[in-house]
Every structure is written in C-alpha cells, then in structure tokens.
C-alpha cells in the first residue's frame, strides 16, 4: 500500500511494490519493536503545516 500526496490530496495506491511504497508519504517508524525515528507531536504538526501550506491546525 502506498499513500501519495497529489495536488494537496492524499491518494491510496493499492498493491504497490516495496520500492513504490518507499517513495510514498508513509514512513516506517517501528521495526521489530524498535523505534527508528523519534519525533514529538509538535514536530509532526509543524511538518504537516509546512507540507500542506496550512497556517493553523485545530488541536
């Protein structure tokens, strides 16, 4: 499964190859019970704001 951001809208691509999945919007955070990428909720919100050009997200 791959999630793409296309013209400001997220789109699901079913039956994607492993290589295609690596290019999508979903990122692996855990593998075999180990945290691969640590970030705060504030960092996630900031990244979403920047990526989508959103000035304010409701909390």
Distance of CA 13 to the CA centre of its chain: 14
Of the candidates 52, 43, 46, the one whose C-alpha atom is nearest the C-alpha of residue 25 is: 52
Q: How confident is the model over 37-57, as pLDDT tens digits?
A: 888 999 988 888 887 765 554
DSSP E strands, 1-59 = 2-6, 9-13, 30-31, 34-35
pLDDT digits (tens, 9 = 90+) for 1-28: 899 988 888 899 999 998 998 899 888 8
pLDDT-derived band at 32 (thresholds 50, 70, 90) equals very high
Residues comprising the chain, all counted: 59
- Whole-number pLDDT of residue 28: 85
Residue boundaries of the structural domains of the chain: 2-52
What span, in angstroms and rounded, lies between the C-alpha atoms of 4 and 12? 7
Determine the pLDDT at residue 54: 57
Residue 26 pLDDT: 85
Is the distance from CB of 3 to CB of 24 less than 8 angstroms? yes
């Amino acid at each position: 499964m791959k999630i793409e951001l296309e013209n400001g809208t997220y789109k699901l691509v079913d039956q994607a190859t492993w290589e295609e999945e690596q290019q999508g919007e979903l990122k692996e955070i855990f593998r075999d019970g180990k945290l691969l990428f640590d970030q705060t909720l504030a960092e996630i919100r900031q990244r979403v704001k920047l990526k989508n050009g959103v000035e304010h997200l409701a909390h």
